[in-house]
Amino acid sequence: MIEIQGLNLMLGSFRIENLDLILQEGVFNVLLGPTGSGKTLILESIIGLRSFQSGKILIGGKEIQNLSPEKRGISYVPQDLALFPHLTVRENILYGLRAQKKSFGVNENPLDRLIDVLKIKHLLDRYPQGLSGGEKQRVALGRALAPSPRLLLLDEPLAALDPALKAEIQQLLISLHYSLKFTALHVTHDLEEAYLLGDRITVLIEGRTEQSGKRQDVFLRPHTVKVAQFLDLRNLFPEKVLEVERGGKLITVSFWGREINLPSEHAARRLSPGEDVILYLRPEEVMILRERKPIKESLRQNILAGEVVRILDRGTHRWVSFRPHRMEVHLEINLPNYVFRNLAIQEGQEIRVAMRRESFWVIPV
């Protein structure tokens, strides 16, 4: 287990205060946050490239913050990859091993397996300046993983790649992690990348950990308004807690002039009557009802009639903006293309929509 305990770091007016972070071994962890949130500062602190005011960094229960970078058992892939231009691919990969004075060679176990997974055997005698962008990415990962580090740090290494190459390296990272089971901390501001790669995701905003958990917990059940806004979640509605059932197992929340009863586990924390909250409804969970089709009992309590205001083609799906009758609010609906074609709806059309209560999530303000 890798732990960061009470990390405090100041850089000018920017502060990281009392940061705690736990990384389970063998897990691909993602540190997700907007530009300027302190992600790179944390990586530089872990690797030993930046000093901090107080705190501890532990690997396997042993403090490492006072060790020099080369003695920490950590590998680092910066955004620019930092390959040595005067060394061949073979020499780049062996660099970390030689620094640790390990004796096995590039054609011996366990490196041959790593080279096979990376598909770079034919590149071993070439120099970095003669490699493509994807080949450089593979070599940088090979150099970082060759010493079998206790922790691999990745500082937005995919940020400058074109979409096709980015998708290729993302799949490579997934394959490498599946094969080698290394522990990683990957920094990014890219939401899709974080969801695709991260077994566990920590959201960092303004130097503070806002939420940490499994990918679905973070993306589908945000704990704070800041997390919801950063994740660009749609259908966030200011509402109020009307009632909390004795025992706290059921909460009643206002929703556009009506009431909706939700299990308490649909809230980010325990709530009180009268408390202001944000009610979040996932766009892909809003169902457009077909005329003359039977309606399931689970949908009958939350049906709204209104107008299709706008339809936006997003390539793989359609965003539909729906406005209920006699209301100024808009509800966004996400429809896969095949569903959109089957419904054949148009802007200006009158429709009815339904929402299951399981699709709502409550965020404290």
Residue 29: is it exposed, middle or buried by C-beta count within 10 angstroms (0-12/13-18/19+)? buried
Please answer whether residues 15 and 9 qualify as being in contact, where contact means their C-beta atoms are separated by less than 8 angstroms: yes
Domain 234-281 CATH class label: mainly beta
Task: Give tens-digit pLDDT for 345-357.
Answer: 999 999 999 998 8
Residues 115-121: contacts with CB under 8 Å, at least 24 apart = 115/142, 117/175, 117/176, 117/179, 117/180, 118/142, 118/172, 118/176, 120/89
Write down the pLDDT at residue 46: 94
- Where do the domains of the chain lie? 2-225, 234-281, 283-356
Write down the pLDDT at residue 114: 87
Asked if residue 187 has pLDDT above 80, the reply is: yes
Residues 6 or more apart whose CB falls under 8 angstroms from that of 261 comprise 250, 251, 252, 357
> Which architecture, in CATH terms, is 283-356?
Beta Barrel (2.40)
Q: Of 109, 166, 102, which is closest to residue 134 (Cα–Cα)? A: 166
Q: Tokens for 266?
A: 């649909």
Q: Residue 99's CB: how many other CB atoms inside 10 A? A: 10
Write down the pLDDT at residue 308: 96
Write down the pLDDT at residue 64: 94
Asked if residue 220 has pLDDT above 60, the reply is: yes
Strand partners for 2: 23, 59
- CA dist 59 and 2 (Å) reads 5
Residue 156, classed as helix, strand or coil, is: coil
Asked if residue 82 has pLDDT above 80, the reply is: yes
- CA dist 125 and 131 (Å) reads 11
Write down the pLDDT at residue 318: 95
- CA dist 112 and 119 (Å) reads 10
State which fold the 2-225 domain adopts.
Rossmann fold (3.40.50)
Query: Over pLDDT 90: what percentage of the chain?
Result: 75
Asked if residue 89 has pLDDT above 80, the reply is: yes
Average pLDDT over residues 214-234: 94
DSSP 303-363: EEEEEEEEEEE-SSEEEEEEEETT----EEEEEEHHHHHHHT--TT-EEEEE--GGGEEEE
Asked if residue 115 has pLDDT above 60, the reply is: yes
Write down the pLDDT at residue 113: 83
- CA dist 280 and 221 (Å) reads 9
DSSP 166-217: HHHHHHHHHHHHHHH---EEEEE--HHHHHHH-SEEEEEETTEEEEEEEHHH
Q: Tokens for 127?
A: 């120099």
Write down the pLDDT at residue 149: 92
Residues 317-324: contacts with CB under 8 Å, at least 24 apart = 319/283, 320/288, 320/345, 322/286, 322/351, 322/353, 324/256
Write down the pLDDT at residue 101: 62
The pLDDT mean for the chain works out to 91
Q: Of 92, 107, 214, 81, which is closest to residue 160 (Cα–Cα)? A: 81
